[in-house]
């Protein structure tokens, strides 16, 4: 056992990450609900309301800040708890501080109106350099956190020679191995954007920045998904007395995600010139490949449900579903998130198909899609997991657990209403990221209006749900009585467990192979771009 | 722009400033307009009516006002 003071200090680092994430989602929700209302002509927006600035803030806070801080906090938590040792926390605090500094720089630049470039910051929209520097520092901070996790993996291997690293730590390390490979793209893009934003370079190759962005942008979503999978595989079975279905299959899923998350980004660039259909096709096929670990996960999670039900003497689909702890907030968050992922997963297959993407690209269908994915399985699992982590970090019982349960259910219905309306309005042609979609009463625009209203209603439910989450998270922190056990346990395979092949243990070597795959998948399209006489766009501020 | 029904029209799209979009709701005419590059797509208009053309990539403060109309007439 570790001395209590050591655990307390580790918990402080994790608490700092989780509450930074909480602050981001709270602020992001306020900005989000305004957008939903602004897009309906019934409410409209007051004159002072700067839709695009608020949209930039919402996207950055939710997609980049909330998710990242939660995953860094979660991964540090599972690593610290699974590998008990004396450790200095200087590196961990440094990583957190850098992430927070970067976030503050980027957020203040956006709020001052100097970076209304949305969270994709497509050049040649030219933001203040401090926005790009802030975003870069946020990423570099995550690299420090990754280093902290990897250092613990190396320590474990040295001190437990021949033993596999604990499954949950493997999952966290795999998530950050993938993240390092992926973020090389955005750091390369920042290497072009920062000198250009300062005016040191006269212009920028727009297609090159877009390719670097999407090299990073799609694996970013798998970073979120892997964060949710860490919880689904390792934490959720402990809520119903179940087991990990298979240690080997879980590691295989994460290895596949390391390999296949990155060489897929061009499916975001189907509608762009300058990339031949050969490469668009290759990235389509690989995108279908990355759906495989998600199908494996669907199988493994339900198999774990079923085996737990059989252990209780229940058989059959309905008996299995009934045996699950639906009133337990952490389980409810994850399980309702899984249901939303069914919509998100199939929608993603539509987006990854060139001919179907021509109908939905840059329509609000896409917004519906990523809300039902990052805002479905990912965010809802994270909020549920926060209800599991916070008592274990603070020793305090959850304040109003019935609110927590209500929060997960309200989120599910709010997201269902909002995302399905967005999907449908997108099929009817409603564009994304547009302040008003009336188009002077064009008849096609009138067909969107009821769905914009429904989406706004769903968004309002989500807003209330997030306020409820913040109330429970902060309320728990303010309670005086420390009544809860702070032990955290993770799911293990049922005995007798099959031996996991040694091939699946080498998380860093798979990372190196993933980098090679990514280079192979991008060398061709990058070569095509660079063969053309490069037009360098000077860039401008159009807001 | 007015075209007779059944016309086969090839659109060439580029941008002089920032990235824009070229999208006709209800069809698969969907392109990004990128400075320095020319995008191209061919479409046959088989149904008469007014088609809305919208910029569907955020391009700045008046992005929502960037639209046009294609009239397809018998």
pLDDT digits (tens, 9 = 90+) for A62-77: 999 999 999 999 999 9
Residue A1 CB burial class (10 angstroms; 0-12, 13-18, ≥19): exposed
Instruction: Report percent pLDDT > 90 for chain A.
Output: 87
Give the global pTM: 0.96
pLDDT of residue A4: 83
Catalytic residue among A210, A268, A361, A369: A369
Residue A8 annotated as catalytic: no
What's the gap in Å between the CA of B53 and the closest CA on chain A?
Answer: 10
Rounded to whole angstroms, the Cα distance separating A209 from A534 reads 13
User: Which chain A residue lies closest to B68 (C-alpha atoms)?
Assistant: A439
Residue A210 has pLDDT above 90, yes or no: yes
Mean pLDDT of A392-419: 96
Q: In which band, very low, low, confident or very high, does the pLDDT at A34 lie, cut at 50, 70 and 90? A: confident
Residue A171 has pLDDT above 60, yes or no: yes
Cβ contacts from A onto B, under 8 A: 120
Rounded to whole angstroms, the Cα distance separating A205 from B19 reads 12
pLDDT of residue A483: 85
Residue A366 has pLDDT above 80, yes or no: yes
Residue A436 has pLDDT above 90, yes or no: no
User: Does the distance separating the beta carbons of A439 and B67 come in below 8 Å?
Assistant: yes
Residue A236 has pLDDT above 70, yes or no: yes
User: Does the distance separating the beta carbons of B28 and A442 come in below 8 Å?
Assistant: no
Interface pTM (ipTM) of the complex? Answer: 0.96
Residue B18 is classified by DSSP as S
Residue A465 has pLDDT above 70, yes or no: yes
pLDDT of residue A533: 73
Beta bridge partners of B23: B30, B54
Catalytic residue among A19, A222, A240, A305: A222
Write out residues 18-47 of B within 8 Å (CB-CB) of A.
18-19, 21, 23, 25-26, 28-32, 34-40
pLDDT of residue B7: 94
pLDDT of residue A159: 95
pLDDT of residue B13: 97
Q: In which band, very low, low, confident or very high, does the pLDDT at A2 lie, cut at 50, 70 and 90? A: low
What number of residues does chain B have? 74
Q: In which band, very low, low, confident or very high, does the pLDDT at A3 lie, cut at 50, 70 and 90? A: confident
Using the Cβ of B63 and the Cβ atoms of chain A, whether some distance falls under 8 Å is answered with yes
More confident residue, A185 or A497: A185
Using the Cβ of B56 and the Cβ atoms of chain A, whether some distance falls under 8 Å is answered with yes
pLDDT of residue B67: 96
Mean pLDDT of A290-309: 95
For A245-254, write each residue's pLDDT tens digit.
Answer: 999 999 999 9
pLDDT of residue A44: 65
Rounded to whole angstroms, the Cα distance separating A272 from B34 reads 8
Rounded to whole angstroms, the Cα distance separating A70 from A56 reads 20
For A174-201, write each residue's pLDDT tens digit.
Answer: 999 999 999 999 999 999 999 999 999 9
Residue B19's φ and ψ, nearest 5 degrees, are -75, 130
Using the Cβ of B16 and the Cβ atoms of chain A, whether some distance falls under 8 Å is answered with no
Per the rule left: phi > 0, alpha: psi between -120 and 50, beta: everything else, A488 is beta
Helix (H) or strand (E) holding A29: helix A4-38
- Mean pLDDT, all residues of chain A: 94
pLDDT of residue A496: 80
3-state class (DSSP) for residue A41: coil
Rounded to whole angstroms, the Cα distance separating A449 from A455 reads 10
Residue A529 has pLDDT above 60, yes or no: yes
Using the Cβ of A540 and the Cβ atoms of chain B, whether some distance falls under 8 Å is answered with yes
Rounded to whole angstroms, the Cα distance separating A414 from A459 reads 6
Token digits of residue A501: 């092949």
Per mean pLDDT, which range of A34-38, A151-155, A423-427, A440-444 is the poorest?
A34-38
Residue A123 has pLDDT above 70, yes or no: yes
Residue B66 has pLDDT above 90, yes or no: yes
Using CB atoms, pick whichever of B34, B38, B61 lies closest to residue A207: B34
Mean pLDDT of A234-246: 96
pLDDT of residue A220: 96
User: Which chain A residue lies closest to B58 (C-alpha atoms)?
Assistant: A433
pLDDT of residue A534: 76
pLDDT of residue B63: 96
pLDDT of residue A511: 96
Residue A1 has pLDDT above 70, yes or no: no
Residue A277 has pLDDT above 70, yes or no: yes
Closest alpha carbon to A143 in A103, A211, A108, A94: A94
User: Does the distance separating the beta carbons of A442 and B50 come in below 8 Å?
Assistant: yes
């Amino acid at each position: 056992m570790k001395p209590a003071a050591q655990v307390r200090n580790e918990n402080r680092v994790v608490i700092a990450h989780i509450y930074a994430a909480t602050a981001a989602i709270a602020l992001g929700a306020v900005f989000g609900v305004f957008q939903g209302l602004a897009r309906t002509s019934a409410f409209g927006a007051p004159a002072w309301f700067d839709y695009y600035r608020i949209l930039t803030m919402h996207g950055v806070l939710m997609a980049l800040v909330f998710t990242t801080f939660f995953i860094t906090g979660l991964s540090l938590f599972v690593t610290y708890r699974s590998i008990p040792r004396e450790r200095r926390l200087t590196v961990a605090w440094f990583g957190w501080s850098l992430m927070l500094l970067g976030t503050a720089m980027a957020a203040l630049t956006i709020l001052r109106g100097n970076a209304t470039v949305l969270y994709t910051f497509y050049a040649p929209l030219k933001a203040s350099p401090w926005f790009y520097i802030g975003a870069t520092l946020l990423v570099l901070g995550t690299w420090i956190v990754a280093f902290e996790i990897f250092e613990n993996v190396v320590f474990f291997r040295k001190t437990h020679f021949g033993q596999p690293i604990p499954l949950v730590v493997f999952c966290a390390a795999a998530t950050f191995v993938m993240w390092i490979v992926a973020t090389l793209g955005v750091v390369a893009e920042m290497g072009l954007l920062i000198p250009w934003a300062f005016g040191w370079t006269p212009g920028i190759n727009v297609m090159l920045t877009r390719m670097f962005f999407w090299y990073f942008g799609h694996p970013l979503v798998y970073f979120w998904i892997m964060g949710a999978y860490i919880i689904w595989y390792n934490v959720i079975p402990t809520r119903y007395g179940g087991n990990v279905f298979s240690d080997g299959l879980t590691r295989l899923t994460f290895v596949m995600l390391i390999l296949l998350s990155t060489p897929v980004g061009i499916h975001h660039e189907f509608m762009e010139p300058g990339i031949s259909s050969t490469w668009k096709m290759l990235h389509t096929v690989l995108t279908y490949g990355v759906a495989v670990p998600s199908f494996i996960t669907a199988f493994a999670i339900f198999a774990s449900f079923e085996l737990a039900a059989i252990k209780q003497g229940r058989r059959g689909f309905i008996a299995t579903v009934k045996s699950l702890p639906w009133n337990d907030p952490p389980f409810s968050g994850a399980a309702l998130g899984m249901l939303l992922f069914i919509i998100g997963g199939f929608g993603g297959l539509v987006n990854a198909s060139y001919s179907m993407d021509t109908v939905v690209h840059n329509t609000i269908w896409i917004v519906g899609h990523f809300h039902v994915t990052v805002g479905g399985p990912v965010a809802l699992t994270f909020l549920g997991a926060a209800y599991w982590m916070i008592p274990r970090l603070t020793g305090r019982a959850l304040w109003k657990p019935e609110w927590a349960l209500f929060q997960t259910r309200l989120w599910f219905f709010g997201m269902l209403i909002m995302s399905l309306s967005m999907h449908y309005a997108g099929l009817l042609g409603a564009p994304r990221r547009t302040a008003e979609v009336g188009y002077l009463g064009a008849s096609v625009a009138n067909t969107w209006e009821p769905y914009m209203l429904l989406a706004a209603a769903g968004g309002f439910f989500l807003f209330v749900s997030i306020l409820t989450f913040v109330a429970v998270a902060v309320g728990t922190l303010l309670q005086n009585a420390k009544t809860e056990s702070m032990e955290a346990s993770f799911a293990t395979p049922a005995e007798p467990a099959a031996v996991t092949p040694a091939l699946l243990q080498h998380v860093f070597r798979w990372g190196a192979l993933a980098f090679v795959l990514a280079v192979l998948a991008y060398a061709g399209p990058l070569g095509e771009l660079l063969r053309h006489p490069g037009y360098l766009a000077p860039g401008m501020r159009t807001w | 722009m007015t075209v007779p029904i059944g016309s086969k029209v090839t659109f060439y799209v580029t941008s002089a400033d920032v990235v824009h979009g070229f999208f006709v709701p209800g069809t698969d005419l969907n392109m990004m307009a990128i400075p320095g590059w020319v995008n191209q797509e061919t479409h046959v208009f088989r149904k008469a009516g007014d088609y809305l053309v919208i910029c569907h990539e955020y391009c700045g403060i008046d992005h929502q006002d960037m639209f046009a109309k294609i009239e397809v007439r018998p």
